[in-house]
Homo-oligomer: A and B are copies of this chain.
């Protein structure tokens, strides 16, 4: 992607300064940031930024299908602009969320044969490699 503004435009989103910065932030910070961390990170560059704008913008991104919400924990919604199919692992020790590849073929039982499945989320929890080695 050479131009974030064009990318937003082709997805039906008017590329305002704030929207471009928020999308760029998601692309460059793949640790699945929260609204709060996005706001705090961008508040330096955009001193007038409102947290409401961050909420609004992420909602637009999700509606237009260029980002997703990751509710891997009940007290923090995280956001991800990497839209390829992948799963998320959350380390209960260091709280980090790690991406991993997933093959959904054959995973689902027959109970859902007549269901339309439009979205999938696989969340794993445990202790990451780094935390295991440190203890």
Find residues 102-117 in chain A having any chain B CB closer than 8 Å to their own CB: 102-104, 106-112, 114-117
* Inter-chain contact B125/A122, CB cutoff 8 Å: no
Could you give, for residues 66-87 of chain A, a 1 whenever the CB lies within 8 Å of some chain B CB and a 0 otherwise? 0001011110010000000001
Each complex incorporates copies of this chain amounting to 2
Could you give, for residues 92-135 of chain A, a 1 whenever the CB lies within 8 Å of some chain B CB and a 0 otherwise? 10000011111110111111101111111111111111001000
Contact surface of A with B, Cβ cutoff 8 Å? 69, 71-74, 77, 87, 89, 91-92, 98-104, 106-112, 114-129, 132
Report the bound CA distance from A120 to B111 in whole Å. Answer: 19
- Cβ–Cβ < 8 Å partners of A104 in chain B: 107
Closest to A73 in B: B71
* Inter-chain contact A118/B127, CB cutoff 8 Å: yes
Chain A binding surface SS class = strand
* Inter-chain contact A99/B115, CB cutoff 8 Å: no
* Inter-chain contact A123/B120, CB cutoff 8 Å: yes
* Inter-chain contact B102/A115, CB cutoff 8 Å: no
- Cβ–Cβ < 8 Å partners of A111 in chain B: 98-101
* Inter-chain contact A115/B103, CB cutoff 8 Å: no
Closest to A122 in B: B122
11 new A-B contacts at CB < 8 Å, known A91-B115, A122-B123: A71-B73, A71-B74, A74-B77, A89-B112, A101-B109, A103-B106, A103-B107, A115-B124, A115-B127, A115-B129, A118-B125
